């Protein structure tokens, strides 16, 4: 995994490294964080999430909107469910999905603003 490689010249910018170490975000938090971003990183899932931004939708609605088959949509919903990003309610044969909280919306919006500003 690692190798004994320490840049000899100036590299141990030891002070700087120490400073960074001090302000360090705990490793487990970064791991959880990367998992959230991983869920946002697939276009299909992102489309699902964005379609759910203002309303709840059943699986079939999502299939329509995404123009994707039911199995693919259900598999992605399973992932979103597993990470507690969406909640669902059953109504007869149908299952309606919605976003679990507004944080998600915030993250999307800010990332979107970032992206649009870039241009």
Closest to DNA by CB, 19 or 64: 64
How many angstroms separate the CA atoms of 77 and 107, rounded?
A: 19
Q: What one-character DSSP code corresponds to residue 53?
A: S
* Residue 89: contacted member of its own copies, DNA, none (CB under 5 to 8 Å, by partner type): none
The position carrying tokens 């999905």 is 97
Beta-strand relationship, 86-91 and 94-99: antiparallel
The position carrying tokens 């999430």 is 49
The position carrying tokens 């399973």 is 78
**Which residue ranges make up the site for DNA (CB under 7 A)?**
1-3, 7-11, 38, 41-45, 58-60, 63, 68-72, 74-79, 88, 90, 92-95
Query: Collapsing DSSP states into helix, strand and coil, what is residue 104?
Result: helix
| Residues at the contact surface with its own copies, assessed by CB under 8 A | 1-3, 5-7, 9-13, 16-17, 19-21, 23-25, 29-34, 36-38, 40-43, 46-47, 50-51, 53-55, 57-61, 63-65, 67-70, 84, 93-94, 101, 103-104, 106-108, 110-118
């Amino acid at each position: 995994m690692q190798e004994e490689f320490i840049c000899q010249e100036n590299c141990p910018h030891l002070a700087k490294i120490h400073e960074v170490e001090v302000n360090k975000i705990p490793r487990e938090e970064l791991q959880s964080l990367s998992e959230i971003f991983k869920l946002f990183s697939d276009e299909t899932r992102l489309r699902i999430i964005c379609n759910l931004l203002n309303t709840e939708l059943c699986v079939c609605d999502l299939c329509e909107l995404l123009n994707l088959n039911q199995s693919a949509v259900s598999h992605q919903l399973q992932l979103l469910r597993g990470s507690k990003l969406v909640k669902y309610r059953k109504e007869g044969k149908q299952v309606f999905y919605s976003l679990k909280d507004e944080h998600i919306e915030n993250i999307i919006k800010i990332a979107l603003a970032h992206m649009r500003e870039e241009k």
